[in-house]
Amino acid sequence: MTKYIIRRLLQTIPVLIGVTILVFSLMHLVPGDPAQIVAGEGASEQTVENIRERLGLNESIPVQYGNFLGNAVQGDLGSSIRSGRPVMEEIASRFWVTFELAFYSTILAVFLGLIAGIVSAVRHYTLADTSIMIVALFGLSMPNFWFGLLLIQWFAIGNWMPESLEFLKMRPSGWGDSWRQIILPVVTLGTGGAAIIARMTRSSMLEVVGQDYIRTARAKGVSERLVTYRHALKNALIPVVTVVGLEFGGFLGGAVLTETIFAINGMGRLTIDAIRTRDFPVVQGTVLVISVIFVLVNLIVDISYRLLNKRIDLN
Amino acid sequence: MSEETVNPPVTTEKLNPRLESYKQFWRRFFKNKAAVTGGVLILLIILMAFIGPWILTTFTDYRPNATDLGNKLQGPSAAHWFGTDSYGRDIFTRVIFGTRLTLYVGFFSVFIGGVVGVIFGIVSGYYGGRVDTIIMRLMDVLLAFPGILLALAIVAVLGGSLTNVIIAVGIFSVPAFARVVRGSTLSVRKLEYIDAVRALGASDFRIIFKHILPNILSPIIVQASLRIATAILTGAGLAFLGLGAQPPAPEWGAMLNEGRQYMYEAGHVALFPGLMIVLVVLAFNIFGDGIRDALDPKMRN
Amino acid sequence: MSVPEIILEVKNLKTSFATDSGEVRAVDGVSFKLPKGQTIGIVGESGSGKSITSLSILRLLASNGKIKEGEVLYKGQDLLKFSEDQMRKLRGNEISMIFQEPMTSLNPVYTVGQQIGEALMLHQNMSKKEAHIRSVELLKLVGIPSPDKRVKNYPFELSGGMRQRVMIAMSLACDPEILIADEPTTALDVTIQAQILELIKELQDRLGMSVVFITHDLGVVAETCDYVAVMYAGQVVEYADIRSLFHYPKLPYTIGLLKSLPRHDIEQDKLEPIKGNVPSPHDMPVGCRFSPRCPAATDLCRAKMPQLETDEKGNQVRCWIYSEEWDGESEVNIYGETRIAKSRGTETVLPD
């Protein structure tokens, strides 16, 4: 077990280094002179030179990367070119909004997906199963930003739960006073994930139900109900649990779109605004923070999962 | 694929087992209603993408960028089936013209991602050892950027355009292919006949192209179909954020972005391009699911 | 001679599966009797329907399988008429079953003790604690060393032989009347096979249960069984006590099987395989199902399906040679042995 944790940790280090290299290179892969692009067209020679100086672009690439990594480890991601504020500060003020959005979306996706998947598997080849699978296929095929737009439209036209549209009035950050404000963004973001989990749960359940040990349980005289919930479900959830971390990360990334349509002032919006204004330190910062969180969440999911399921020989 | 390319050169059996398994695959494929539906839908969409604009320009006066400010934001009618947008352009015409752009994003990005991913996957699975470790860690790095973030970062660097979206989504698709192909390569490599062929003195190049690649085509095809669906969604997302095809191109994601501003007074502007995205993505998902089921006997009752 | 009580009798059992290519009759007329305390072997090649027969007895068929006809009489009651609830009370309690694949037949997420204890808690209303204690005893009974430690193991921590012992312990938990063993040794190493067979025999003697032994291995049958039902293409084709079957098999197929078996008790020039293949369930011969491969087949055999005929010892055979209608030679040569057709009257015992 300890060996597994150590191996898993050691695997993570090169990935994190790779992530920092990639994020660092963003600035240098830009066609043309990054300082010129940051400064904007028609900026004076002096301005460009100042920016170059401030971004440390005069140093050699390895030195620049070393500085970048050293600063990043200490939580210093440079400053925003537009606002002049430290990138870390910009991110910190918006982090929790996005985190909450992704967190609740994950809960919704898991909850909805599991129920739908189990119902579908237990009643497979019935109308219920077919309907659930068709809905899931649509959920999977729908651009979630479009779904979000439709939701806003319906709620606005129908004048349902007016508070849920409150946040469209642009709050600086946070969800304000009503939990209802988070519903639509969470539904928008979570449904696609629910579709994935439902499909996985169903196929995993159906595969498990065909296993020899299920027949053994029946031969022991175990009732169908217990066969499903005691013997099959526990095995079927093994592959499903492992995607929860992936889903959460996907939601962090997907928040870019959801936050845009709902005008939520989170990290996603910060990223997209920074991209539009070519504020590269901020882009680098948000991309780095989201990826590192994603890698760490997956690490935690893997390890805690393994700890909880010592008995499962995954190989 | 033609028969020649899938014929194993050293077998001397009367019945070509691979040909037989392809026949069986098609038999199963045609039994799978979902797969056939998806396939037919995809064909229709392709037809629409390439013949639709021609029909419109040859037989009608509808043009994708023809503005008519007197008729803006009109709801669906006989003259404008999908209504008009904020410049009075006919949304139906724009949707038809935009099909091609969407398919470009889907096909070309998956083609790029597929070729690179397959090469990485085969090399990784076939040679193993340090090469494998390096390639797979590299894929882990790419996978460390969740969801749309990787494509977003790449477009952020390259700038927003259709070509850059294709490149970005292509890179975004590489790890998925690499992983699937690596797994399949490993399992094919274990087969004894690969050892036999090697013992006969075949080069690595020949083994990979003549023996391994034909054997792992099925998972590649399944992956490609499902990835096209993802690629189209991702591309539309980027365009929606204003980072894809630039106006006035009738790209569906970009049209959604335009429609978003008139969400309350003219819902149809955002409705139809979105429905079209759903339709196309659905077709590829159904098709991919179908061929996966047809290829994998385990998935069947 | 007292007539032994018949604990299980299967009469004309027919089981079908719905598949993509139509209905497949996997079991098509299976009958046999099992006297109390005895062992019957059901022998056949793979695909002959022997496993489906055993699953049909406990009504554990996959969802696309259906029992179409017949009776399964357990202590005189037809199990096919039982409700699902009644069946459940019977399974693992009065009739239990062990399977071919010990590696996959145990649930990977529960300990051995939990899995043995489940049947006890279900059928005997034991508390968790009592079930645990009994599980340890059962593991000891099936010869697992340090059972108090093993009881907490998960299946993946045990070898194949150990897992099969656990399966046996599980099936014996409620002192069943009948144990159905579906190829319990096929997946195991030869040395372990012998141990498991020995264990089943020993436990049978000690606990007095009756055993249905499914196997493709006539050698195993010779060692363990009192009666044998030979199956071919979904049917019982010969049913006999063990002595009769090995000394004077009647059916050409059985003769062929025995001839293709290496033996050390008699001298053999060479092994003689049965030519041809088992017919596909989609393409069954009209007449006797063995007729395309049978060296003695006549037009009658190919045209009409023979019925099971019972002789004075109660043994049965499904073959035209032993009927009044036989249209071939009176002395039939089958794989180098001679059998006398019934229609020509006399019966001769041949030197073995």
Closest CA to B213 of B41, B29, B63, B8: B8
Q: How far apart (Å, rounded) are the C-alpha atoms in residues A88 and A71?
A: 11
Note whether C122 contacts A215, CB cutoff 8 Å. no
The residue count for chain B: 301
- With an 8 Å Cβ cutoff, are A256 and B149 in contact? yes
Contact C64 B31 (CB under 8 A): no
Residues 6+ apart with CB under 8 A from A248: A102, A103, A106, A294, A297
The residues facing C34 across adjacent strands are: C8
Residues of chain C with pLDDT under 50: 1, 345-352
Residue of A221, A222, A312 lying closest to C108 (CB–CB): A312
The answer to whether C224 and C39 are in contact (CB under 8 A) is yes
CB-based contact A149 B260, cutoff 8 Å: yes
Across the interface, whether the CB atoms of C109 and A220 are under 8 A apart is answered: no
A45 pLDDT higher than 60: yes
Would you call C97 helix, strand, or coil by DSSP?
A: strand
Q: Is A128 exposed, middle or buried (0-12, 13-18, 19+ CB in 10 A)?
A: middle
Which residue, chain included where needed, has tokens 């032993």?
A: C322
Q: Per CB distance under 8 Å, which residues of C are interface residues toward B?
A: 20, 63-64
Residue range A262-272: average pLDDT? 88
Closest C-chain CA to A124: C63
Complex ipTM tops 0.90:
no
Q: Is there a contact between B227 and B114 (Cβ–Cβ < 8 Å)? A: yes
DSSP state of C288: -
Assess A138–B contact: CB distance below 8 Å, yes or no: yes
Per the structure block, which two tokens stand in for C36?
A: 């109390």
Across A263-287, average pLDDT: 89
Q: Which residue of B has its CA nearest to A158?
A: B264
Q: Does residue A300 surpass a pLDDT of 70?
A: yes
Residue numbers in B near C64 (CB within 8 A): 301
Token representation of residue B122 = 């085969």
Helix, strand, coil in percent for chain B, rounding step 5 = 75, 0, 25
Cα separation, B111 vs B167, whole angstroms: 10
Task: Give chain B positions within 8 Å (CB) of A290.
Answer: 145-146, 149
Which residues in chain A (46-85) have CB-CB distances under 8 A to chain B? none
Q: Which chains are within 8 Å of A by 3+ CB pairs?
A: B, C
Beta bridge partners of C241: C227
* Integer Cα distance of C122 and A10 in angstroms: 47
pTM of the model: 0.84
Q: Where are the alpha helices (DSSP H) in chain C?
A: 50-57, 84-90, 112-123, 128-141, 147-150, 160-172, 190-207, 218-224, 242-247, 252-259, 299-303
Find the chain A residues whose C-beta atoms sit closer than 8 A to any C-beta of C.
210-213, 215-223, 231, 234-235, 309, 311-313
Q: Which residues of A touch C62 (CB under 8 A)?
A: 210
B301 touches chain C (CB under 8 A): yes
Q: Are the C-beta atoms of residues A51 and A34 closer than 8 Å to each other?
A: no
pLDDT at A18: 93
pLDDT of residue C266: 66
pLDDT of residue C156: 86
Instruction: Quote the tokens at residue A252.
Output: 């962090």
Burial of C76 (0-12, 13-18, 19+ CB in 10 A): exposed
Across the interface, do C106 and A213 touch by the CB < 8 Å criterion? yes
Handedness of CA C340, C344, C347, C350 (dihedral sign): negative
B144 vs A156, A260, A295: nearest CB: A295
B237 touches chain A (CB under 8 A): yes
Contacts of B300 in chain C (CB under 8 A): 20
φ/ψ bin of B100: left (φ > 0), alpha (ψ from -120 to 50), beta (otherwise): alpha
Q: Hey, which residues 146-205 in chain B have their CB within 8 Å of chain A?
A: 146-149, 152-153, 155-159
A260 at the B interface (CB within 8 A)? Answer: yes
CA distance A156 to B259: 16
The predicted-structure confidence for A115-140, as pLDDT tens digits, reads as follows: 999 999 988 888 999 999 999 999 99
- pLDDT, residue C343, reads 62
Check CB contact under 8 Å for C64 and B301.
yes
> Which stretch of A9-18, A51-60, A132-141, C216-225 has the lowest confidence by average pLDDT?
A51-60
Q: Is B274 on the interface with A (CB under 8 A)?
A: yes
pLDDT of A176 reads 56
Prior bond to B248 cis, omega within 30? yes
Residue C268: the pLDDT is 64
Best probe of the B interface among C17, C19, C20, by most B CBs < 10 A, is: C20
Using an 8 Å CB-CB cutoff, list chain B residues near A277: none
Interatomic CA distance for residues C92 and C171, integer angstroms: 6
- Residue B31 touches partner C, C-beta closer than 8 Å: yes
Find chain A residues with C-beta within 8 A of B156's C-beta. 26, 275, 283
Query: B113: which 2 tokens?
Result: 């991602």
For A212, the closest of C93, C101, C154 (CB atoms) is C101
Give how far A265 is from chain C: nearest CA, Å: 45
How far is Cα C148 from Cα A54, in angstroms, rounded to an integer? Answer: 70
Q: Which among B145, B236, B277 is the nearest to A291, CB-wise?
A: B145
As a whole number, mean pLDDT of residues A17-45 equals 81
Q: Do A145 and B256 lie within an 8 Å CB cutoff?
A: yes
Q: Which two tokens stand for residue A120?
A: 């579908």
Please check whether residue A275 touches B, CB under 8 A.
yes
Cβ contacts of residue C209 below 8 Å, gap of 6+? C37, C175, C176, C177, C178, C179, C203
The answer to whether A212 contacts C109, with C-beta atoms less than 8 Å apart, is no
Closest to A119 (Cα-Cα) out of A135, A106, A107? A135
**Is C329:C341 a contact under the CB 8 Å cutoff?**
yes
Q: Distance from C21 to chain B by nearest Cα, in Å?
A: 11
Residue C119 and residue C204 in contact, taking contact as beta carbons nearer than 8 Å: no
Nearest to B140 among A15, A30, A157 (CB): A15
Nearest-Cα residue of chain C relative to residue A231: C107
Residue A244 and residue A106 in contact, taking contact as beta carbons nearer than 8 Å: yes
Can you tell me which residue has the tokens 């994020």?
A23
- How far is it, in rounded angstroms, from Cα C322 to Cα C239? 14
Q: Is C125 on the interface with A (CB under 8 A)?
A: no
pLDDT at residue A169 greater than cutoff 80: no
Query: B33, B299, B301: which to substitute to probe chain C, counting the most C Cβ within 10 Å?
Result: B301
Residue A118: predicted pLDDT? 92
Higher pLDDT pick, A233 / B265: A233
Residues of B within 8 A of A295 (CB-CB) are 144
Among A49-53, A134-138, A164-168, the range scoring the smallest mean pLDDT is A164-168
Digit-by-digit pLDDT tens for chain B (301 residues) are: 333 333 334 434 455 666 666 777 777 778 888 889 999 999 999 999 999 899 988 888 888 888 888 887 888 888 888 888 888 888 898 999 999 999 999 999 999 999 999 999 999 999 988 999 999 999 999 999 988 898 999 988 888 889 999 999 999 999 999 999 999 998 888 888 888 888 888 888 888 888 888 888 888 988 999 999 999 999 999 999 999 888 888 999 999 988 888 877 778 888 999 999 999 999 999 999 888 887 765 444 3
> Would the CB atoms of A216 and C99 count as touching at under 8 Å?
yes
Q: Does C196 touch chain A (CB under 8 A)?
A: no
Mean pLDDT across A227-242: 86
Q: How far is C12 from chain B (nearest CA, A)?
A: 28
Q: CB distance from B33 to chain C under 8 Å?
A: no
C93·A216 Cβ contact <8 A: no
- Measured between beta carbons, the chain C residues lying within 8 angstroms of A311 are 108-109, 111, 154, 156
Chains contacting chain C through 3 or more C-beta pairs under 8 A: A, B
Q: From the CB of residue A80, how many other CB atoms can be counted at a distance below 10 Å?
A: 20
Size of interface A-B (CB pairs under 8 A): 142
Helix (H) or strand (E) holding C96: strand C95-98
* Cα separation, C352 vs A40, whole angstroms: 105
B169 to chain A, minimum CA–CA distance in Å?
A: 15
Cβ distance B234 to B148 under 8 Å?
A: yes
**Alpha-carbon gap: C64 to the closest alpha carbon of chain B (Å):** 9
Sequence length of chain C is: 352
Which H helix or E strand runs over A275? helix A267-276
Neighbours of chain B (3+ CB pairs under 8 A): A, C
Smallest CA–CA distance, residue A209 to chain B, in Å, is 11
* pLDDT attached to residue A139: 93
